[in-house]
Structure 1
Amino acid sequence: METSSEHRGRVVAFMIGATGLFAATSLLAKAIGTGALGPALPPLMVSLGRFAFAFAGIAVVVALMRPRLTRPRWSTHLGRTICGWGGITLMFAAVARMPLPDATAISFLSPVFTMMLAIPLLGERVRPVRWTAAAIALIGAAILLRPGDALQPAALLALGAACAMGLEAIFIKRLTRREAPLQILLVNNGMGTAIAVAAALMVWAMPSPAQWAALAAIGLLMAGGQALNLAAMRQSDASFVAPFFYLTLVWAAGFDQWVFGLLPDAVSVIGAAVLVSGAGLLVWRDRARRPQGFIR
């Protein structure tokens, strides 16, 4: 019989793998956007790879598993997809212009924006502890924006990504009440592919063979990360799983140092630590009160 420690160990392994895959997609996006694999491609092209190849992978899984599909809530899916596409495109633009750990840390503000938007959109009441956690996270973001230096425009892109992903979470909360996770992923990536194709045609540039491989990897790694995250969420309480998502920052720092030779400076470390402390507390409180899955 499987012991509790073995069960939790498997959940931890799932989350370590998921966060590593999520960070790897940002690393590949940075390589494509900085010209490391050929002439730099615009973020709209990278987003196309993320959605198109993820959709292909998820469609294969659906065809093999043949899950029961219900009638989708198309308007909610469309809102979620537009926010998700916009958020990931801004994130890809940010990582090409600033240190990967900084952009990753700023993206962790998305739970703060979700909390703020849930007040008017979902009618939720926010208690003082959650406002305190949000304030801590915003202080960390302010440190990462480096107001004493010349403001990094790329940091504003990451901030916009966090806002879009925060609004996306509102739509996800509505969808998870009525639809299965695999159906949500299938519809989201299918609609995202259509949007990404239309946007990419405006800036189309033929990728090199290495860039095609990287674009395919971004989509498939993202789909793999989503699958591992959902597997972890199915096998454990959300309050146990959620904090492990912040391992993405550790992976991002390691990848940035390994591939680009960039080490986080003191400002980055302090800002990220403060932001993650606040955002982590906010996520823990939210998941402890109302356990839900996370679908990136």
Structure 2
Amino acid sequence: MSEQSLPRANPALAAALTLAASAFAAGTTLLAKALGTGALGPELHPLQISHGRFLFAFLGFATAAMIIRPTITRPNWGLHIGRSTLGWGGVTLMFAAATFIPLSDATAISFLNPVVGMLLAIPFLGEKIGPWRWGSAALAFTGAMVLTRPGAGALEFGAFLALGAACAMGGELIFIKKLTGRERPFQILLINNAIGLAIATVAAAFVWQMPTLQQWAALAGIGLLMASAQTCFINAMRLADASFVSPFFYTSLSFAALYDALVFSVLPDAISWLGAGIILCAAAVLVWREARIR
């Protein structure tokens, strides 16, 4: 790609796109909670909800592909399958967690995925981790343990589902990092959602039940919101440094708490604020350190 074809840096637009991506991503979890808790009809299984996410996201990207007609160049199918499998697992676990715990808790625990990705980069990418990164990782996991609320029954179970989602999405980051150096962003998103749809279809077949019209609308909303979030975030990353963009994505915690309060009248308690605050501090340390390294 020539220098002339590269987009000019635009931090203000990058920040706006990242805030939009945060609002869209939190919206998907809100709709998943509504579907999984019976707020929109009979409860849907998380496997069926994640199927709707991939179905409608793929339809969105496929429609865009028919319009812009991108050139698909030598996909690395092994990396795509690995990335899509972990992405599907992470999304499904996240949607399941949202039915048990407040959205703010599930979102805060999901912020562990960059830390998991950082730790996995040691054996898989050969990266070296210094004391600052190790310290931020320990701090983030401490926050996650606070949010598990040991002995709290359903809250504890939901927190561990969210922790599993963070681990799966952290593993996905390793595949994404390898793919982004080889293929264009739109090609990665299109293939990812196609493979994810295939996996989700097989899994959902075991728990399928016919959704109501309201539920179909919510499933479509999840897929289209996720596609919008991915598109906004990728374009934000092209317009500014990752160290500048990343902190804005943490506002998804605020959006999740706001949605939960408005729709389900669920307000974060002291433990939620404490655990989320610890994780956000760890994330801030990582962002600051990465900026210093650059």
Which bin holds the TM-score, normalised by the shorter protein?
over 0.9
Per-residue CA distance 1:198-225 (angstroms, 9 max, x = gap): 0000001110100000000100010011
Q: 1:156 aligns with which of 155, 160, 167?
A: 160
Q: Which runs of 4+ in 1 moved over 4 A?
A: 148-151, 286-290
1:244-279: CA deviation from partner (whole Å, max 9, x where unpaired): 110000000000000000110011001101111102
Is the 2:50–2:200 contact (alpha carbons within 8 Å) kept by the matching residues of 1? yes
Range 60-69 or range 117-126, more displaced: 60-69
Q: Work out whether 1:232 is the aligned partner of 2:233.
A: no
The 10-residue stretch of structure 1 (20-29 or 119-128) with the greater mean CA deviation from structure 2: 119-128
Equivalent residues of 2:29, 2:98 under 8 A apart: yes
Alpha-carbon RMSD: 1.5
Q: What corresponds to 1:66 in structure 2?
A: 69
Q: 2:19 is aligned with what amino acid?
A: I
List alignment gaps of at least 5 residues for structure 1: 1-5, 291-296
1:243/1:284 contact within 8 Å kept: no
CA deviation map 1:151-181 (0-9, x unaligned):
6111110010000000000010110110001
- Say whether residues 1:57 and 2:57 are aligned partners: no
1:268 to 229, 254, 272: 272
Q: In structure 1, what is the equivalent of residue 145 of structure 2? A: 142
Matched ranges for 1:163-182 at <5 A: 163-182=167-186
The CA deviation at 1:287 is 6.7
The percentage of counterpart residues that share the same residue type is 56
Pick the aligned partner of 2:282 from 266, 278, 281.
Answer: 278
Among candidates 113, 133, 149, match of residue 116 of structure 2: 113
d(CA) in 1 for partners of 2:287, 2:243: 8
- Among 220, 236, 245, which residue is 2:249 paired with? 245
Distance in 1 of aligned mates of 2:147 and 2:160: 10
Query: Partner residue of 1:293?
Result: none
The 1:284–1:29 alpha-carbon spacing in structure 2 relative to 1, beyond 3 Å, is farther
2:201 to 172, 193, 197: 197
* Match of residue 3 from structure 2: none
Q: Give the structure 1 partner of residue 5 of structure 2.
A: none
Tell me, what secondary structure is at the counterpart of 1:146? Answer: coil
Structure-2 change in CA distance of 1:40 and 1:148 (3 Å): closer
The 8 Å contact of residues 13 and 239 in structure 2, kept in 1 or not, is answered as no
Using the TM superposition, give the Cα deviation of residue 148 of structure 1 relative to its aligned residue in structure 2, in angstroms.
6.1
Q: Aligned partners of 1:250 and 1:119: how far apart in 2?
A: 32
From the superposition, tell whether residues 289 and 217 of structure 1 become closer, same or farther in structure 2 (CA, over 3 Å): farther
Which one-letter code corresponds to 2:268 in the other structure? P
Q: Distance between the aligned counterparts of 2:234 and 2:293, measured in 1? A: 19
Q: TM-score, normalised by structure 2?
A: 0.93
Give how far 1:286 is off.
4.2
Q: Partner letter of residue 77 of structure 1?
A: H
Q: Deviations over 1:109-146 (max 9, x none)?
A: 11111111111111111011100111111111111112
Pick from 192, 204, 222 the counterpart of residue 188 of structure 1.
192
Aligned position for 1:131: 134
Equivalenced residues, count: 285
Q: Which moved more, 1:225-234 or 1:276-285?
A: 276-285
What CA distance in whole angstroms lies between the structure 1 residues aligned with 2:37 and 2:291?
Answer: 37
